[in-house]
Amino acid sequence: MNYYSLNHQSPIVSFKEATIQGQAPDKGLYFPQQLPVVSKALINGIENISDVDIAFEVMKPYVAGSVNDEELYHIVKETLNFPVPLQYVNTAIASLELFHGPTLAFKDVGARFMSRCLGHFLKHEDREVTVLVATSGDTGGAVANGFYGVDNVNVVILYPKGRVSPVQEKQLTTLGKNITALEVEGSFDDCQRMVKEAFADKEINEKKFLTSANSINVARWLPQQVYYFLAYKQWKQKDTQPVVCVPSGNFGNICAGLLAKVTGLPLGHFIAACNVNDIVSHYLQTQELKPKETTATLSNAMDVGNPSNFVRIIELFHKQFPELKNNLSAFTITDEETINTIREVYKDHGYTLDPHGAVAYCALKRYLDTPPGGRGGGFILETAHPVKFPDAVESATGQNVNIPAALEEMMNREKASVVMQPDFENLKSFLLEGQK
């Protein structure tokens, strides 16, 4: 499989080259040159196929020519060594729980897959790679965990000061070794802008070998398709196509789900559940894609005012707005609605949502309750464990969120970060002079 830049000013590259580069030289995102067709045998027999075998079959065409079958199977087996259960909240709505991995967030699958691919590609290299990544919450912890201790890889994570939860901050600031956290006194969009400027800076790239671990990287973005296959495997009403509702910030996860649908997975309508950082909701109403200043919310991983991956969704539907709108809707959910949803779902069904899952649940319920939205129900993606957002969850439910044993020791570790102003020159100085 080869990949082209969405800016169409860079050479076609292999999966290996796209993974190592992260972003194309013309600053475009890489996109598959041909979209594979999902095997009917996989769909028809999916209930009897192991999760690892499903992931292997899904990812095989995307890595062809760069990763052989034996190595790919090893990578997906290490990536998916935790459950991904579909829990029915009620008869109409199920929750795909993506928080059973090592950092309790959906980013674990993509980060683990990418780290193992990059480790494989660098195995016989004597150069060091710097993985540079901006995070609005969960990406940082997942990337830190996935790349921790990987030979020849240094990880630099930028996160917005005071805008990630205490658990999220501990996950990306307490590992040390080859992981460095930069605490930026600004928003996620400031962090993402600084990272993009670093990739565009000639001097940095002459002296440092940079790659990205955000979902702009194909090795982070593409394996997220697997979630949707595992959800369909567990979906009880195979005679109906489930509506799929995804809490959306940078739009990599929902883009992967739409890719799975376009290539043959029988899923119904998609809903982008947004908080008030809702430029895609605005776009679907007006066809104007206008970035805006980020507003801090309870669902902080979705606090993105300029989502990078939406251009891939536009490409997926051949830049045809009617085709895109036939497959995708968006709803804007406020913090007040988020808290009310956590409270009501816990009270009525005994199920605890995190703020991101609550945004998705509220949006899906709104869609299903609006004719002709029913269509047999659907599922949300519950992207993070409620323990990451104890204040919001405990105030809504009146119950303490139990800290998993794996987190207790980490929460007692000392935070280590480098505080930085949201100025690219500060990041440049750090990369060229301050990084070990």
Catalytic site residues?
Answer: 107
DSSP-assigned states of every residue in 313-338: HHHHTTT-HHHHHHHEEEEE--HHHH
Edge-to-edge strands, sheet with 2-5: 13-14, 2-5, 30-32
Residue 156 exposure: Cα atoms within 13 Å on the Cβ side: 26
* Alpha-carbon span 190 to 64, nearest angstrom: 36
Cβ atoms of 151 and 120 closer than 8 Å: no
Cβ atoms of 185 and 419 closer than 8 Å: yes
Cβ atoms of 118 and 21 closer than 8 Å: no
**Of the candidates 35, 1, 7, which has an alpha carbon nearest to the alpha carbon of residue 19?**
1
Residue 93 CB neighbours (<10 A): 22
* Alpha-carbon span 180 to 111, nearest angstrom: 16
What residues does 95 pair with on adjacent strands? 87, 380
Strand locations in 9-146 (E): 13-14, 30-32, 86-88, 93-97, 129-134
C-alpha angle 183/185/188, rounded to 5°? 80
C-alpha angle 262/278/289, rounded to 5°? 70
- Find the DSSP H helices in 214-271: 218-221, 225-234, 252-262
Pair of tokens at residue 76: 């997906």
Pair of tokens at residue 71: 């190595």
* Alpha-carbon span 21 to 16, nearest angstrom: 9
